[in-house]
């Protein structure tokens, strides 16, 4: 998620959030570490909203740039996803052959319960991500996939048919990308009203008892307000972008990082959205993001950390599955966490070097070419008008 020439600003924060998800998925972990899975994902939504609002207002600004925005988002999301999807499938073959475990085993054991439409949907969503968030509303019954309000009561959990199951959050991201050009360039009032509508719908659902997963962080109509909180953060920050930042404000902005790391110390550990700790952290992040961006946009170390965040999030279940299957993860939980983090970061670094970095150069070259075409068209219009 880049804007202008800033690279991956706020990269360290994003990497910490990604590592928090990694640690949350380590088998046998009973003590919460940092923000865990759900809160980290929603922090990512806010950061995504901030940067998408930024690039749509500063980078993809021409009338023909909508296609360029969509296609560059495609090139950002899918090549890395497909790289790890293939790797996860290979690991799945090994897990099936050695121990009859993993996603392939789930497919084999439940094939007779799936209709042709179910198979088509699960294949489509594994390949193209769209619809993975809908799996949170599905269970597997005797006659195939069926709607449910508690997907985790399904046997098996339908998410187990996915080879990169954490891709469900990317499905929400993609829907936001589709809608963003029509929202985040609007006035503050318009963005605020759309965000308020989503928050109101979430509040009503909370009152009637839909407080648990997936309603707490996987249902897009509710999460749109979280994305737009990031967009509002950008738009408000733009009003003060020329102001001198006091030292206390700079220190306070970086304070969001220890707030993420120390989250279990002030959070009750519930999965409910409307808690003081969650709302407080999200509000802190919204206020801190514009300042953090200004302070880190030109820092190489932050760019390197940011480059790793997305592939770390995508790949981490692969090394965890390999380590668990080989028995290396036993017996100490702390060892499991360290190995999972180290192997995920290593795999992410390799993917960044050989997949993401070349693609990033190509994406940025397309932006430069688009600007050149716009300049040429503007000059032609001026000449035509002068004549």
The domain limits of the chain are: 11-381
Q: How far is it, in rounded angstroms, from Cα 176 to Cα 184?
A: 10
Task: Output the pLDDT for position 143.
Answer: 87
52 in Cβ contact with 177 (< 8 Å): yes
Task: Output the pLDDT for position 335.
Answer: 82
Q: How far is it, in rounded angstroms, from Cα 121 to Cα 98?
A: 28
Task: Output the pLDDT for position 2.
Answer: 36
**Which residues, at least 6 apart from 169, have a Cβ–Cβ distance to it below 8 Å?**
41, 44, 133, 218
- Other Cβ atoms closer than 10 A to 11: 22
Q: How far is it, in rounded angstroms, from Cα 39 to Cα 34?
A: 9
Task: Output the pLDDT for position 337.
Answer: 86
Task: Output the pLDDT for position 4.
Answer: 37
DSSP E strands, the chain: 138-141, 144-147
Task: Output the pLDDT for position 1.
Answer: 35
- Other Cβ atoms closer than 10 A to 386: 6
Task: Output the pLDDT for position 3.
Answer: 35
Task: Output the pLDDT for position 8.
Answer: 57
SS3 183: coil
Structure tokens at 319: 């090394």
Bridge partner residues of 144 (DSSP): 141
Separation in Å, CA 191 to CA 195, 227, 278, 311: 6, 10, 22, 30
125-153 residues labelled b (16+ CB within 10 A) or e (exposed): bbeebebbbbbbbbbbeeebbeebeebee
| Blockwise average pLDDT, block size 10, the chain, 387 residues | 48 97 88 91 98 95 89 97 98 94 95 96 98 95 91 93 97 98 95 97 95 93 98 94 90 96 92 93 97 93 95 96 72 79 97 96 91 68 59
Predicted model pTM: 0.94
Task: Output the pLDDT for position 331.
Answer: 59
Task: Output the pLDDT for position 386.
Answer: 57
Half-sphere exposure of 46 (CA within 13 A, CB side): 25
Task: Output the pLDDT for position 192.
Answer: 97
């Amino acid at each position: 998620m880049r804007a202008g020439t800033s690279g991956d600003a706020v990269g360290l924060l994003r990497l910490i959030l990604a590592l928090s998800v990694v640690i949350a998925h380590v088998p046998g972990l009973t003590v919460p570490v940092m923000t865990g899975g759900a809160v980290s994902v929603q922090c990512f939504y806010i950061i995504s909203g901030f940067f998408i609002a930024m690039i749509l207002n500063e980078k993809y600004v021409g009338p023909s740039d909508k296609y360029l925005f969509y296609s560059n988002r495609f090139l950002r999301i899918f090549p890395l996803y497909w790289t790890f999807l293939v790797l996860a499938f290979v690991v799945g073959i090994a897990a099936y052959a050695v121990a009859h475990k993993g996603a392939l085993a789930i497919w084999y054991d439940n094939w007779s319960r799936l209709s042709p439409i179910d198979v088509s949907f699960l294949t489509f969503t594994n390949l193209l991500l769209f619809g993975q968030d809908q799996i949170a509303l599905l269970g597997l019954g005797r006659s195939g996939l069926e709607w449910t309000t508690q997907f985790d009561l399904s046997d098996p959990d339908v998410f187990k048919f996915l080879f990169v199951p954490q891709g469900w959050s990317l499905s929400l991201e993609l829907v936001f990308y589709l809608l963003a050009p029509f929202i985040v360039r609007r006035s503050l009032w318009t963005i605020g009203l759309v965000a308020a509508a989503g928050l109101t719908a979430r509040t009503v659902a909370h009152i009637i008892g839909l407080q648990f997963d997936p309603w707490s962080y996987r249902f897009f109509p509710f999460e749109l307000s979280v994305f737009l909180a990031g967009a509002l953060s950008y738009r408000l920050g733009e009003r003060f972008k020329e102001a001198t930042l006091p030292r206390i404000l700079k220190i306070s902005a970086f304070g969001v990082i220890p707030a993420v790391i120390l989250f279990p110390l002030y959070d009750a550990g519930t999965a409910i959205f409307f808690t003081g700790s969650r709302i407080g952290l999200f509000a802190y992040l919204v206020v801190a993001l514009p300042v953090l961006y200004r302070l880190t946009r030109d820092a190489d170390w932050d760019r390197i950390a940011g480059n790793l965040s997305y592939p770390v999030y995508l790949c981490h279940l692969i090394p965890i599955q390999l380590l668990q299957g080989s028995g290396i993860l036993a017996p100490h939980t702390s060892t499991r966490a360290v190995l999972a983090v180290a192997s995920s970061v290593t795999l992410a670094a390799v993917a960044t070097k050989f997949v993401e970095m070349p693609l990033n150069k190509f994406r940025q070259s397309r932006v430069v070419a688009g600007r050149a075409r716009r300049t040429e068209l503007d000059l032609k219009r001026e000449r035509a008008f002068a004549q």
